[in-house]
Amino acid sequence: MAAGATYAAAGAGVAPPPDAVVALANVDIAYRLADGGTYVAVEDASLALRAHEFVAIVGPTGCGKSTLLNAAAGLLKPAAGSVRIFGAPLAGLNGQAGYLFQQDALMPWKTARDNVAIALEVGGTPRAQAVETAQTWLARVGLGSFGDRYPHQLSGGQKKRVGLAQVLIRDPKILLMDEPFGPLDAQTRQIMGNLLLDLWSRDRKAVMFVTHDLEEAIALADRVIIMSAGPRARIIGDHAIDIARPRDAAEVRLDPQFHEIHRAIWNQLKAEVIKAYAEVPA
């Protein structure tokens, strides 16, 4: 445990940068187990997300990367450490953030248009105006003529588009994404990646993007954070991705620079993935 101790000591001393939009400092996240014990998912995680920065968090299955995201969203309270949003400690839900979930999160009893419009309506926007703006957003995500469909009448990719419109219509300062394109097939993922990059490039919100797909992370992000295998997962790597923008989420994978970065990060991640599989049978 000598190595772990040094890491913890180093982490404790690092102050988040003053312009951090989301700052996690020495965060521990623990679950109470049914038998009375505790399961520590994430230990001593410190992470700062600056304005206009697209950060991807990558790690092996079950490493607690989604847990970290939930802490930033206020859906989970960390057992130790602090979460600050724009410098203020987070209490309750993070009202500045939009969250795109991995699973289906649309209300099945509302049409695509109503699902998007409700995001404005809850904030007090009159219905007619909310519906009009929702229609604009549906068109923006390529679903202009799908407004009357119910979620079950949409494909997986289309549901993600509606989800994206639902989150972005509120114009959140921070975008939290939990493996949003995980359930989609490879082609659809790349198309969704490009859509996301296109929408993001308009105002460059701060993005925290969790994925298990290293290629996707490098293709999209400015920075890739690597987490170790759980339990007691830690942040073990922080790599800047200086591939020029605008990028094409599919074509960037052919770039020699992409391969170089991928090789460097993969060497680090590989050891953790093997460790994760050794402990948790797939």
Partner 1 sequence: MRISRARLLFLQAMVAVAFFVIWHIGSTVPIAGVYFLPKFFFSTPIDVIVRVYQMFAGGKIWGHLAITLWETILAFVIGSAGGVLVGFWFARKPLVAMVFDPYVKMVNALPRVVLAPIFMLWLGLGIWSKVALGVTLVFFIVFFNVYQGVKEVSPTVLANARMLGMNERQLFRHVYWPSALSWMFSSLHTSVGFALVGAVVGEYLGSAAGLGYLIHQAEGVFDVTGVFAGMVILAAFVLLIDWLVTLVEDRLLVWRPQSAAGQA
Which positions touch partner 1 (CB under 8 A)? 73, 75, 93-95, 97-99, 101, 103-111, 118-119, 122-123, 150-153, 166, 170
Q: Phi and psi for 94 in degrees, rounded to 5?
A: -80, 100
Joined tokens for residue 89: 């400690």
Amino acid found at 151: P
* 12/122 with CB nearer partner 1: 122
Which residues have CB under 8 Å from 239's CB, separation 6+? 223, 224, 225, 226, 261, 264, 265
Distances (CA, A) of 278 to 58, 89, 166, 212, 269: 18, 38, 39, 17, 14
* 69/276 with CB nearer partner 1: 69
DSSP E strand boundaries for the chain? 20-32, 38-50, 54-58, 80-85, 88-89, 97-100, 174-178, 206-211, 223-227, 235-240
Rounded to a whole number of angstroms, the minimum distance from the CB of residue 122 to partner 1 is 5
The DSSP secondary-structure symbol of 52 reads: T
Rounded to a whole number of angstroms, the minimum distance from the CB of residue 156 to partner 1 is 13
* 153/257 with CB nearer partner 1: 153
Rounded to a whole number of angstroms, the minimum distance from the CB of residue 135 to partner 1 is 18
Give the count of alpha carbons within 13 A of 223, CB side only: 15
Rounded to a whole number of angstroms, the minimum distance from the CB of residue 214 to partner 1 is 25
Identify whether the C-beta of residue 88 lies closer than 8 Å to the C-beta of residue 79.
no
* 134/224 with CB nearer partner 1: 134
Exposed e or buried b per residue across 203-224, where buried means at least 16 C-beta atoms within 10 angstroms of its C-beta: eebbbbbbbbbbbbbbbbbbbb
Rounded to a whole number of angstroms, the minimum distance from the CB of residue 148 to partner 1 is 10
Rounded to a whole number of angstroms, the minimum distance from the CB of residue 125 to partner 1 is 11
* 114/272 with CB nearer partner 1: 114
Rounded to a whole number of angstroms, the minimum distance from the CB of residue 131 to partner 1 is 15
* 112/217 with CB nearer partner 1: 112
Q: Phi and psi for 54 in degrees, rounded to 5?
A: -105, 105
* 183/237 with CB nearer partner 1: 183
